[in-house]
Amino acid sequence: MTQMIQLFGLKLLSGKKEEMWDFIKRKINSNEKVWVVTLNALMFLEYFKNDEYKYELQNATISIPDGIGVVKYLEKWGYTTERCPGIDTMLKICEWQEHKIFLLGSQPGIADKAKEHLEKTFPNINIVGTHHGYFENSDEVINKINNSGAEILFVGMGVPKQEEFIYKNIHKLNVKMAMGIGGSIDVISGKIPRAPKIFQIFGLEWLYRMLREPKRFKKFPDLMNFYFKIYRSKEMPINLEVINL
């Protein structure tokens, strides 16, 4: 059964991955504009140390448990959920081939390569536009998205930039759903490889990225300190509430 867990002000889905995808599909087909956050441990860390980022994420429609750290934290308090990776969720939405899609993010030309790959994988997909993530004029990008007729916007600009963009502009966007997807555009384009299956199974894709990009290790001490504090805590979050969906 899919549940909505109110956790530290976040509306976090839990349950079977396929059930979470069904819930997202229903939301997209409703009249409500949907913002999906793919929550992993690094985002959770940023959430607790950045008040502006915290406020932004609290305004999202739903979050899904992308990272294994989030899954394990829920399990600590007795809530079982499957991990629901952002890239898998993105590909599932593409697989539906029901909506016009816009890809925003990565370096110039990379989103175009991702578009080509997705069109080969899903012959009936309708990707109506792309744009790189290195821009200064948001209004020009928003106009391009709106003029394309896009219904689904995937934003791959990294944390916290992608969430900041969605929060500040979702009211201007004529899309049904916006979702931050981190480095998924890079992976789908072939620019960087996805972690091997063994890393995916154990939820260690973040470690694979760190091994490939050593500069990411600068976040490792903060991440370990965060895990230590969270998992050693013996007090159940006072604002933990569960709603069956």
Q: What is the pLDDT of residues 141-171, one digit of tens each?
A: 999 999 999 999 999 999 999 999 999 999 9
Taking only the tens place, the pLDDT of each residue in 201-218 is 777 777 777 777 777 777
Peptide bond connecting 108 to the previous residue in cis, omega within 30 degrees of 0: no
Pick from 94-108, 209-223, 231-245: least confident: 231-245
CB of 183 closer than 8 Å to CB of 206: no
Closest CA to 105 of 134, 138, 136: 134
The tokens describing 193, both together, are 């490889």
Per cent of the chain over pLDDT 90 is: 63
* Model-wide pTM > 0.75: yes
Residues 6 or more apart in contact with residue 177 via CB below 8 angstroms:
24, 27, 28, 33, 34, 35, 36, 151, 152, 153
- DSSP letters spanning 5-30: EEETTEEEEES-HHHHHHHHHHHHTS
The reported pLDDT for the residue numbered 238 is 46
Res 8 pLDDT > 90: no
How far, in whole angstroms, is CA 46 from its chain's centroid? 14
Q: How do the domains of the chain map onto residue ranges?
A: 3-189+197-239
Tens of pLDDT, residue by residue over 23-40, are 999 999 998 899 999 998
Q: Work out the number of other CB atoms within 10 angstroms of the CB of residue 224.
A: 10
Which of 45-49, 97-101, 110-114, 163-167 is predicted least confidently? 45-49
| Predicted pLDDT of residue 240 | 58
Average pLDDT over residues 65-72: 88
Cα separation of 231 and 226, whole Å?
8
